[in-house]
Structure 1
Amino acid sequence: MEVRVQLFGFGNVGRAVARVLLEKERFFREKYGLSFRVVSVSDTSGTAWLPEGIDLKEALLVKENFGRLSAWTNDYEVYNFSPSDAVKEIESDVVIDVTNDGNAHLWHLEALKEGKAVVTSNKPPLAFHYAELMGESEKRGLPYLFEATVMAGTPIIGVLRENLLADSVERIRAVLNATTTFILTRMEQGVDFERALKQAQELGIAERDPSGDVMGIDAGYKATILHCVAFKPITFDRISVNGIVEVTVDEVKRALAKGRRIRLVATVEEGKVTVAPEEVTGPLAVSTNENVALIESDLLGGLLLKGAGAGLKETASGVVSDLVKASLRLMEG
């Protein structure tokens, strides 16, 4: 089966997704009977659209050499569509959103209304509009998948949505932001917060504007999404979030002296979500770019999920897995 795909976002993650589609084309065909035809690719400069399918190798070259798709002039017309226009105008089966557009829920709803499945790594739409998006997806009988919003490719959303169906989840405790883990690990070595943050930025671990990470907003979005999946819809503005900005080297050292480590911990219980620095031991005391989640449920007891929570290949793993899942569902239905 051939699946027509629209890709929104051609930054680092979007290009990682394109590379996976190119490099594993044969794998998807042989294992699942699927071939993906990317009919449009959009970045902030415009939308390259070709119904017969875009040459992803060429798209990657243009973006890497010129920094924007609008520089692609020879074979392709680049359209100045808004995401909503692109979703309505272009025929496709699956819309992939790897942007950080805070208003993307509007065009996700448009896509579902147009009969398209949606796959996304974009957190704010779900952290603020989960109930509306899932309601539309169920009404239309279309997949709306978002594995890569939490823990990159480590499949916590799949476990909660598809596997633990006999269990009542009681609590989730998780470290969900790799940037803060890096900074706190450097602080354990005596580096102060400002310098540790600067090192994280130099290594590309922290964004130029790191507030989303260090203020706990990123972890808060993820914890909100976990609550929506494990319990019931809640919105980000109803949770409690404290970041790591106030944490001092002295506090970190005092915790170490007691055999503990300070980490930014999300605690998710029914009706209550908190994100705050805490002294932890055991599995939550991670020290690399790994994320970790301890899911406590009535039947299984404790389930520990640990894996890469950041990284381009890792995030692309979550996105493309969802693309395969969405395509197989469309094939069945």
Structure 2
Amino acid sequence: MKGIRLSLFGFGNVGKATAEVLLEKEAFFRERYGLKFRVVSIADTSGVVWLPEGIDLKEALMVKETFGKLSAWTNDYEVYSFTPEEAVKEIDAEVVIDVTNDRNAHEWHLAALKDGKAVVTSNKPPLAFHYSELMEEAERRNLPYLFEATVMAGTPIITLLRDGLKGDTVERIEAVLNATTTFILSQMERGLEFEEALRKAQGLGIAERDPGGDVLGIDAGYKATILHCLAFGPITFDEAEVRGIVEVTPGEMERAKGKGKTVRLIARVENGKVTVEPREVPLNSPLAVESHENAAMIRTDLLGELVIRGAGAGLKETASGVVSDVIKAALGLRRN
């Protein structure tokens, strides 16, 4: 059985979760799909570990857990100081996996595609700003470029819009796409001020130390832009109208509650228009989600209203989307 060579960029929480799934479900992937994966390189911010015959993932995870960086792994492996673009050109892999937050990753995604490599990513800015360029390059070279984990973690909204509604015309999508803001708004519903709710979210690890991407609506805007690209055609994040939750008050939450509603950060995607803003939704709406759930209401001409709801965050959940795409990419390459 020929192994599929993988090059993994990013070995933070999502990267480690992806490696754990590849390790733990190795036998399942072999039996179910006839696929054997071989991770030939792993990159974190300290350097790139590269071994053509395959890296011991169990050991890699142990080194990262113990020392916090791959560059500490000097006994058995050489650590290289490649840039990502140098790494994708130098390292012989069939699938490049990007689970970083590199805003300029589109440059090395393109380099990978031009070098004949498939790309799987959970990184949103490359698609939110460079969707057309990336997809055109992938199509020109007949290579998979897959990004399920960019929106709703592993809940397969990307697959649904890309492959599942071939005969339908999408008319509108309304969605809650950011779990951090849902948690903060839920706490404000209980009477907390925004700053108190944010501190609580940060204390629980739900919000980042720098929460701007979430609370200003940028993360949801990236995701909504990607959904527009799939459902209606390419736009960029610069064309989206985005307003976050920083100005929402407990009083507004209380007034909504009195009307049998709640406030959520809602992304609305229509042909040529993306808006993200706090909006009141009825308590019985699919968009009145709690915890780390995301939900999307997709209206089409044939199906009417379709609701997809599931985890929009979480390490295993995001790894599910990444690994699903890795399998699709591998099967696609095998067919070519």
Shorter-chain TM-score range: over 0.9
How far apart are residue 97 of structure 1 and its match? 0.1
Per-residue deviation, residues 234-276 of structure 1 (Å, max 9, x unmatched): 0000110000000000000110111000000000000000000
Asked whether 1:314 is paired with 2:300, we answer no
C-alpha deviation, 1:191, in angstroms: 1.1
Corresponding residue for residue 4 of structure 1: 5
Cα deviation digits, residues 61-114 of structure 1 (max 9, x gap)? 111111100000111000000000000000000000000000000000000000
The answer for the alignment partner of 1:265 in structure 2 is: 266
Counterpart of 1:101?
Answer: 102
Separation in 2, partners of 1:315, 1:201: 20
| 2:326 matched residue in structure 1 | 323
> Superposed, which structure 2 residues align to 1:95-244 within 5 Å?
95-244=96-245
Structure 1 unmatched ranges of 5 or more: none
1:19 paired with 2:20, answer: yes
Question: Cα distance, 1:193 vs. partner?
Answer: 0.6
Aligned residue number for residue 253 of structure 2: 252
Matched residues in 2 for 1:208 and 1:55: separation?
32
Deviations 1:193-231 (A, max 9, x none): 101101111111111100000000000000000000001
Q: Which amino acid aligns with 2:277?
A: A
Q: Distance in 2 between matches of 1:239 and 1:7?
A: 31
TM superposition shift of 1:42: 0.1
Equivalents in 2 of 1:116, 1:218: separation in Å?
Answer: 28
**Runs of 4+ that moved beyond 6 A:** none
CA–CA distance in structure 1, aligned partners of residues 155 and 52 of structure 2: 33
For 1:161 and 1:73, the matched residues in 2 are separated by 43
Partner amino acid for 2:7? Q
Matched, 1:287 2:290: yes
Identity score, percent: 72
TM-score (norm 2): 0.99
* Cα distance in 1 for residues equivalent to 2:280 and 2:258: 11
**Between Structure 1 and Structure 2, how many residues are aligned?**
333
Provide the secondary structure at the position in 2 that maps to 1:102: coil
Q: Structure 1, residues 5-31: CA drift from partner, whole Å, max 9, x if none?
A: 000000000000000000000000000
Partner Cα separation in structure 2 for residue 97 and residue 326 of structure 1:
13
Whole-angstrom distance in 2 between the partners of 1:203 and 1:14: 21
* Cα distance in 2 for residues equivalent to 1:200 and 1:22: 31
